[in-house]
């Protein structure tokens, strides 16, 4: 161990671009926004300049209600970066929101050992120290 | 089909901790070794394909290597597609010789990731995560691959015993290879009790980080009679690309390997049962088993039990990764996949001594990049 206390490493944070700004601005207002193609009707995550299903350019924004399920997950015991070392063990998960979009996040506010595929979860929005940007997360649906 | 493509020469350098090595020294050693093996001079090479380096990132690795060795190729390209790259290099080289654009294409890979990067390599690998939608959540590469493994566990298609059997078998194989990075025998218990990295994957389910390099020469078949070694013919090559980030994968059960294997076998006019020796990308034990099922070599839930039953052993029903693979032979960036290509060629030439699969006539080499994102299957046979 170094005798000089090191400053806590900041977690990587998103740098919103023109395409993703509505999504990240939404997170700051505790809403999860996703795009739906007005031509083919398919929802997509993440925001793009076109529909990845039909390449149509007419995309509308919708807001997810909150509920979803764990499609898969892993409990991380070895952090990829020093910034996450103090968080282990933490849950990385793929979440299927009820509106039909899948995204990656952490499952918060639960014992990692209780997370299961198929588990019902709901959206929550996490503030992080040193950042004004909130990040979409989930927690178990039943509290 | 018109012209045929062959692999005329192969070479892999020492692997493991090579503190004196550099990206360029490994490239040079691998390339010159493959030329000697093919009985060619550097001036015979009219096409050069390179990959990428983490330790010594270059905008134009092909230009840097060509300049370093004094090669002025007619065709020069660097391909950067993660672990699938070695297969893609062979694919593009085969296309160049079949089209008559080149006669001899040198495909060379190598990186000194172990001694050149140390712990930084894990952070560099985590960088593959999407900067907005994955990296803020602390995604590690093992955790991303674990997403598929967890589904297979949940469905009862895989368990920890199955994964451990893969790790143990490949360590046994690595012990039979004079160059392999790790030879110390391991037990099922060692694997099951190694520390959890990202559930359900443990330390001994994960591939190594090694220094090392490998090269192959892909040549037009009409040059074969001038070559000193028995050449190996590239019978069929297929690719499959479905996504980049694991959250965007169309399925967590089947991947692009399904299409790549089907394409390669169809081109070769062969069936799964014709493969005598399989050399399949194994960044994790689970990756190998899932890929084998998705490619159709085993039915759903059958690859794990096959591993436990010893089918993947060199004398088994379906020998897999006879050199020990990325798990025990070595893993050096793009060279990891090239080690599989080199071993497949050696099996078909009958040069594998204690590791030799009896009467190996057709081999499969399969590389994978990203998080099950891009796949390349190569079916090759004795000429």
pLDDT digits (tens, 9 = 90+) for B219-239: 999 888 778 888 899 999 999
Arithmetic mean of pLDDT over chain B: 96
Model confidence band, residue B1 (pLDDT cutoffs 50, 70, 90) = very low
Chain A residues inside the 8 Å CB shell of B144: 92
- Comparing alpha-carbon positions, the chain B residue that sits nearest to A20 is B132
Written as six digits, the tokens of B268 are 């070769």
Residue B268 has pLDDT above 60, yes or no: yes
pTM of the model: 0.96
A100 Cα to chain B: minimum distance (Å): 12
Tell if the CB–CB gap between A80 and B247 is shorter than 8 Å: no
Residue B177 has pLDDT above 80, yes or no: yes
Quick count: other Cβ atoms within 10 Å of Cβ B67?
11
What number is the average pLDDT over the span B308-317?
98
Sketch out chain B's domains with CATH numbers: 5-117+208-382 (3.40.47.10)
- Comparing alpha-carbon positions, the chain B residue that sits nearest to A15 is B132
Predicted confidence at residue A10, as pLDDT, reads: 86
Q: Which residues fall within 8 angstroms of residue A17, CB to CB, at 6 or more apart?
A: none
Range of the domain at A98: 21-140
Q: Number of C-alpha atoms within 13 angstroms, CB side, residue B94?
A: 23
Q: Which of A35, A104, A115 would best serve as a mutation to test chain B binding (most B beta carbons within 10 A)?
A: A104
Chain A residues in contact with chain B using a Cβ-Cβ cutoff of 8 Å: 11-16, 20, 24, 45-46, 71-81, 83-84, 87, 90, 92, 94, 102-106, 116-118, 135
pLDDT tens-digit readout, A79-134: 999 999 999 999 999 999 999 999 999 999 999 999 999 999 999 999 999 999 99
| B residues 124-183 closer than 8 Å to A (CB) | 125-126, 130-144, 146-148, 150-151, 154
Decide if A4 is inside a domain.
Answer: no
Residue A1 has pLDDT above 50, yes or no: no
pLDDT tens-digit readout, A44-93: 999 999 999 999 999 999 999 999 999 999 999 999 999 999 999 999 99
Decide if A8 is inside a domain.
Answer: no
Tell if the CB–CB gap between A72 and B123 is shorter than 8 Å: no
What number is the average pLDDT over the span B60-82?
97
Predicted confidence at residue A142, as pLDDT, reads: 78
Q: Which residue has the tokens 């933490």?
A: A90
Tell if the CB–CB gap between A94 and B252 is shorter than 8 Å: yes
Tell if the CB–CB gap between B198 and A11 is shorter than 8 Å: no
Name which of A24, A81, A87 is nearest B126 (Cβ-Cβ): A81
Quick count: other Cβ atoms within 10 Å of Cβ B78?
21
Decide if A9 is inside a domain.
Answer: no
| CA–CA distance, A36 with A58 (Å, rounded to integer) | 9
- Comparing alpha-carbon positions, the chain B residue that sits nearest to A46 is B133
| CA–CA distance, B336 with B330 (Å, rounded to integer) | 7
Model confidence band, residue A6 (pLDDT cutoffs 50, 70, 90) = low
Residue A27 has pLDDT above 70, yes or no: yes
Query: What's the DSSP call for residue A140?
Result: E
Q: How many residues does chain B have?
A: 383
Decide if A7 is inside a domain.
Answer: no
Decide if A30 is inside a domain.
Answer: yes
Decide if A57 is inside a domain.
Answer: yes
Q: Are B209 and B113 in contact (CB under 8 A)?
A: yes
Alpha-carbon separation of residue B129 from A139, B54, B153, B197, B302 (angstroms): 22, 16, 24, 17, 31
What number is the average pLDDT over the span B91-96?
98
Residue among A117, A118, A96 nearest A43 (CA): A96
Model confidence band, residue B118 (pLDDT cutoffs 50, 70, 90) = confident
Contact B205/A at CB under 8 A: no
Predicted confidence at residue B127, as pLDDT, reads: 83
Decide if A125 is inside a domain.
Answer: yes
Question: What is the total count of domains within chain A?
Answer: 1
Chain B residues inside the 8 Å CB shell of A20: 132
| CA–CA distance, A120 with B109 (Å, rounded to integer) | 46
- Measured in degrees and rounded to the nearest 5, phi and psi for residue B61 equal -60, -35
Decide if A10 is inside a domain.
Answer: no
């Amino acid at each position: 161990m170094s005798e000089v206390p090191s400053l806590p490493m900041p977690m990587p944070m998103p740098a919103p671009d023109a395409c993703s700004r509505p999504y990240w601005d939404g997170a700051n207002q505790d809403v999860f926004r996703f795009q739906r193609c007005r031509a083919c009707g398919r929802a997509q995550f993440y925001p793009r300049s076109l529909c990845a299903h039909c390449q149509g350019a007419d995309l509308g924004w919708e807001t997810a209600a909150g509920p979803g399920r764990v499609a898969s997950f892993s409990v991380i015991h070895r952090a990829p970066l020093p910034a996450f070392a103090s968080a282990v063990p933490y849950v990385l998960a793929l979440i299927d929101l009820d509106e039909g979009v899948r995204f990656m996040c952490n499952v918060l506010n639960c014992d990692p050992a209780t997370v299961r595929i198929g588990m019902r979860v709901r959206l929550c929005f996490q503030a992080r120290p040193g950042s004004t940007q909130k990040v979409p997360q989930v927690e178990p649906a039943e509290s | 089909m018109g012209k045929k493509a062959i692999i005329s020469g192969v070479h892999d350098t020492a692997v493991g901790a090579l503190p004196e090595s550099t990206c360029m020294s490994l490239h040079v050693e691998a390339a010159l070794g493959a030329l000697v093996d093919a009985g060619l001079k550097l001036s015979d090479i009219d096409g050069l394909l390179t990959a990428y380096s983490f330790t010594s990132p270059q905008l134009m690795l092909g230009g840097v290597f060509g300049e370093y060795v004094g090669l002025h190729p007619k065709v020069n390209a660097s391909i950067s597609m993660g672990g699938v790259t070695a297969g893609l290099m062979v694919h593009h080289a085969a296309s160049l010789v079949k089209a008559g654009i080149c006669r001899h294409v040198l495909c060379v890979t190598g990186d000194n990731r172990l001694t050149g990067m140390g712990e930084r390599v894990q952070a560099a690998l985590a960088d593959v995560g999407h900067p907005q939608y994955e990296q803020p959540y602390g995604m590690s590469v093992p955790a991303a691959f674990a997403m598929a493994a967890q589904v297979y566990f949940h469905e009862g298609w895989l368990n920890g015993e199955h994964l451990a059997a893969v790790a143990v078998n490949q360590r046994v194989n690595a012990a039979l290879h004079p160059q392999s990075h790790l030879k110390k025998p391991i037990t099922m218990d060692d694997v099951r009790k190694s520390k959890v990295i990202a559930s359900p994957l443990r330390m001994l389910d994960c591939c190594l980080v090694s220094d090392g390099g490998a090269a192959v020469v892909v040549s037009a078949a009409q040059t074969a009679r001038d070559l000193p070694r028995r050449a190996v013919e590239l019978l069929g090559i297929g690719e499959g690309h479905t996504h980049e980030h694991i959250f965007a994968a169309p399925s967590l059960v089947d991947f692009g390997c399904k299409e790549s294997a089907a394409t390669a076998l169809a081109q070769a006019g062969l069936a799964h049962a014709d493969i005598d020796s399989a050399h399949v990308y194994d960044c994790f034990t689970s990756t190998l088993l899932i890929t084998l099922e998705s490619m159709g070599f085993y039915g759903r839930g059958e690859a794990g039990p096959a591993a436990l039953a010893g089918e993947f052993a060199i004398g088994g029903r379906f020998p897999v990764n006879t050199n020990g693979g990325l798990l025990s032979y070595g893993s050096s960036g793009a060279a990891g996949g090239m080690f599989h290509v080199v071993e497949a060629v050696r099996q078909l030439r009958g040069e594998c001594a204690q590791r030799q699969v009896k009467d190996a006539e057709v081999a499969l080499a399969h590389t994978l990049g990203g998080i099950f994102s891009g796949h390349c299957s190569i079916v090759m046979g004795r000429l």
